[in-house]
Structure 1
Amino acid sequence: MLEKIMHILEHGTYQIPSLLITNYKELKLSDIEFITLIYLMNTDSMFAPKEIGNTLHLSLEEVLETISSLEAKGFIKIEMKKRREVREEHINLEGIYQKLAFSYVEEPKEKEAAPNLFTTFETEFARPLSPIEYELINGWKENDFSDELITLALKEAVYNGVTNLRYIDKILYEWKKKGIRTKEQVEQSRVAFKSKKEEKQELFDYDWLDDNA
């Protein structure tokens, strides 16, 4: 899926509603349905299966199956419109926008942490996140990294002067290998590292030729 999203981005700038990013799993969208909706939300309404397939690197069969699935789930509607005596198929996206609006109204308070997490990243990076970065952050959450731990890894990276998600990804998986899952464990690890570093420094500063040392 990552390759398909990167391919989309190479062909222009796409706007993606944050509610779609944070709720597409809850909406039971497959990865292909997700990227197809991104494409449809950023193009005109005319239904052009071949163009969709070429842009998303999907076969015509995959496009038709995906569109059929999205329509069956109530995300889109295929409507016939008459233009200059010619009947054309157009895609109505009212369904997806209604579902996103409903998810926003009904979203429990504990889920509000997800958008706040993205806002924290954008504040620290001093720029908007890209769709790929949204995907990576969602991937961490799906792999059971808490918002608190992700935020701590972000602050660790910023403290070290690095503002990219690959570096933060390494921090998180290094912590996972060490069994670090909470803020307290992060602090304990820092204290242990600092203590070890100071001991090493004392060893290098020791004058081995001084009999009085």
Structure 2
Amino acid sequence: MHDMDFLESFVKAGETSISNLLLHHYHEYGLTTGQLVVYLQLKSDMDRGIAMPDIAAVAKRLGTSSDKVYGQIQQMMSKGIMRQEVRTDTNGKEEAYYDFSPLLSRMSATDLKQVPNDNNDQEQTSREKLYGTIESEFGRPLSPMEMETVADWLDKDQYAPDMIILALKEAVMNGKLRLKYVDSILLNWQQNNLKTPADVTAEKKRFNEQRSNSTKWHSAGESKPANEQIPIFKLSGNKQQRHSK
């Protein structure tokens, strides 16, 4: 009986289809992973005749907040991937709806032959490995919005994968298993022009030496030299904030 109930629920739920062209090349069309997931959620409702899906319900299904879903929608609108329109229904009433025809226009206008497949495959593999590394360190899978945050590090902030992994290790060492903390480390490094792992290593060494000298001066009852610079490398005490993604 349980199997029959499941089968009935499965059939009633329906299906949401997606073109493999979009699924395999959504990055080339300007979509991030998080935006693709939001698009699929909206499409699943729109395919069932819901012109304006309930964003709170979409957020609940994704395990995130309505503000973040709205943020993804606004980003897709600003990219020209979707738009909100108004139409008149059969009763003469106006209703708003989401229109993804701009996405189809973009897909038809994009010449995928001009995109090197090998580079795309390598980039996707590197991205997937990065997701896997973070999930392994955190001991849990990433949510769609967390995947979007990582994608933004790569696509918008242009952080190198090796720097992200290094920041991840620093966060784990400090017992902070949160992307927000990793983000604060990356921002700290960016603001201090630390662009490579070698830069970070050199700055950590400089900071540790400076702290060691400070301890020696304190033990000897001496004051610090007047020209000593305040250390900028202090990850465990980093309280800097950045705009949420």
Question: 2:122 maps to which residue?
Answer: 109
Q: 1:176 to 1:105 in 2, by over 3 A?
A: closer
Q: 1:33 to 1:113 in 2, by over 3 A?
A: closer
Question: 2:143 maps to which residue?
Answer: 130
SS at the partner of 1:49?
coil
Question: 1:199 maps to which residue?
Answer: 213
SS at the partner of 1:186?
helix
Amino acid at match of 2:85: E
Q: 1:170 to 1:23 in 2, by over 3 A?
A: farther
1:154 and 1:190 map into 2 onto residues whose CA distance is: 16
Question: 2:199 maps to which residue?
Answer: 185
Q: Is contact 2:46–2:52 with CA below 8 Å preserved after alignment?
A: no
1:105 and 1:162 map into 2 onto residues whose CA distance is: 36
2:146 and 2:169 map into 1 onto residues whose CA distance is: 16
Matches within 5 A, 1:130-149: 130-141=143-154, 142-149=156-163
2:203 and 2:28 map into 1 onto residues whose CA distance is: 35
Shift of 1:33: 6.6
Amino acid at match of 1:129: L
| Structure 1 gap segments, 5+ residues each | 1-19, 76-98, 209-213
Q: Structure 1 vs Structure 2: percent identity of aligned residues? A: 25
Which of these residues, 56, 61, 74, is aligned with residue 85 of structure 2?
Answer: 61
- Taking structure 1 as the reference length, what is the TM-score of the superposition? 0.61
Aligned residues: 163
Q: Is contact 1:117–1:147 with CA below 8 Å preserved after alignment?
A: yes
| Structure 2 gap segments, 5+ residues each | 1-21, 58-68, 74-82, 87-95, 223-245
Q: Is contact 1:122–1:128 with CA below 8 Å preserved after alignment?
A: yes
Which of these residues, 179, 192, 199, is aligned with residue 165 of structure 1?
Answer: 179
Q: 1:157 to 1:70 in 2, by over 3 A?
A: same
Q: 1:130 to 1:138 in 2, by over 3 A?
A: same
The Cα offsets for residues 111-153 of structure 1, whole Å up to 9 and x where unpaired, read as: 4111100111000000111122111111111211100111111
1:22 and 1:126 map into 2 onto residues whose CA distance is: 28
Shift of 1:200: 1.4
Over the aligned positions, Cα root-mean-square deviation in angstroms equals 3.9
